[in-house]
């Protein structure tokens, strides 16, 4: 990103990002920290192609994504991005496997139901939940739910995993499980950008970006 700006019209108008400039290389594990309201979620949503910048340049794998149509953006999102939100956003009346399979709906990829099911099971196994495939979210711990959300984000094998406070709602034991999972994914080459308020998360990441009033700096 070079000089990325995001203005929310309001009123009152808010300049949530101003001159955000940074790079993330393939395979990096980056933590993003900063006070409440500093623009972290906005930046994550811009990286995730869910919010359009109102200025500046954003290149993803060398492609300027600023002038693409919504279908083009959807295609790149499906191929490139897995997003984990702070609230898990699981469907309470669906099993873990069905929740993970939802990740294929956004994919646009032509997978058969059997392929989606196999991938969903493999993704759950990958986050240590092979034994919880048929469980409903209401019967799972916070850490387990978060790992289902991570499995869903990983279903389509995204090149970039984006997370907004993935351990924010978890007790310390569950948070440690999610952190171990991220370290494992990172060791396998997964590129990860995660917002966090936790010094422990930041210490596990290879690099920390610090946000203040809509700007990004290295720390």
Ligand X SMILES: Nc1ncnc2c1ncn2[C@@H]1O[C@H](COP(=O)(O)OP(=O)(O)OP(=O)(O)O)[C@@H](O)[C@H]1O
41 binds Mg ion (CB under 5 A): yes
Beta bridge partners of 30: 193, 207
Task: Compute the distance between CA of residue 209 and CA of residue 31 in angstroms, rounded to an integer.
Answer: 6
What are the CA-CA distances from residue 48 to residues 95, 106, 158, 172, 176 (Å)?
Answer: 26, 13, 11, 28, 25
Task: Compute the distance between CA of residue 46 and CA of residue 106 in angstroms, rounded to an integer.
Answer: 18
Whose Cβ is closer to Mg ion: residue 41's or residue 95's? 41
196 binds Mg ion (CB under 5 A): no
Whose Cβ is closer to Mg ion: residue 79's or residue 86's? 86
Q: Which residues bind ligand X (CB under 6 A)?
A: 8, 14, 16, 34, 36-42
| DSSP label at residue 102 | G
Nearest to 216 by CA among 54, 37, 38: 38
Report, in Å, the least distance between residue 144 CB and ligand X.
24
Report, in Å, the least distance between residue 40 CB and Mg ion.
5
Task: Compute the distance between CA of residue 94 and CA of residue 8 in angstroms, rounded to an integer.
Answer: 35
Whose Cβ is closer to ligand X: residue 34's or residue 103's? 34
Whose Cβ is closer to ligand X: residue 50's or residue 102's? 50
- Binds 36, which of Mg ion, ligand X, none (CB < 5 to 8 A, cut-off by type)? ligand X
Q: Phi and psi at residue 28, in whole multiples of 5°?
A: -75, 155
Report, in Å, the least distance between residue 187 CB and ligand X.
28
- Binds 16, which of Mg ion, ligand X, none (CB < 5 to 8 A, cut-off by type)? ligand X
- Binds 42, which of Mg ion, ligand X, none (CB < 5 to 8 A, cut-off by type)? ligand X
Q: Which residues bind Mg ion (CB under 5 A)?
A: 41
């Amino acid at each position: 990103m070079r000089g990325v700006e995001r203005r929310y019209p309001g009123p009152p108008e808010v300049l949530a990002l101003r001159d955000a400039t940074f790079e993330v290389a393939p395979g990096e594990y980056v933590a993003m920290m900063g006070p409440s309201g500093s623009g972290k979620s906005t930046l994550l949503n811009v990286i995730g192609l869910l919010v359009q910048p109102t200025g500046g340049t954003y290149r993803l794998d060398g492609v300027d994504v600023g002038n693409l149509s919504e279908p083009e953006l959807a295609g790149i999102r499906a191929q490139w991005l897995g997003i984990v939100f702070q609230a898990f956003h699981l469907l309470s009346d669906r099993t873990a496997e069905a929740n993970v399979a939802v990740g294929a709906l956004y994919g646009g990829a032509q997978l058969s139901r059997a392929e989606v099911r196999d991938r969903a099971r493999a993704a759950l196994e990958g986050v240590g939940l092979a034994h919880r495939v048929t469980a409903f979210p209401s019967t799972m711990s916070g850490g387990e739910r978060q790992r289902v959300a991570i499995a869903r984000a990983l279903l389509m094998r995204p090149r970039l995993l984006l997370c907004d406070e993935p351990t924010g709602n978890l007790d310390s034991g569950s948070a440690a499980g999610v952190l171990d999972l991220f370290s494992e994914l990172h060791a396998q080459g997964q590129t990860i950008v995660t917002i966090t308020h936790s010094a422990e998360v930041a210490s596990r990441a290879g690099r920390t970006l610090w946000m203040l009033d809509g700007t990004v700096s290295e720390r």
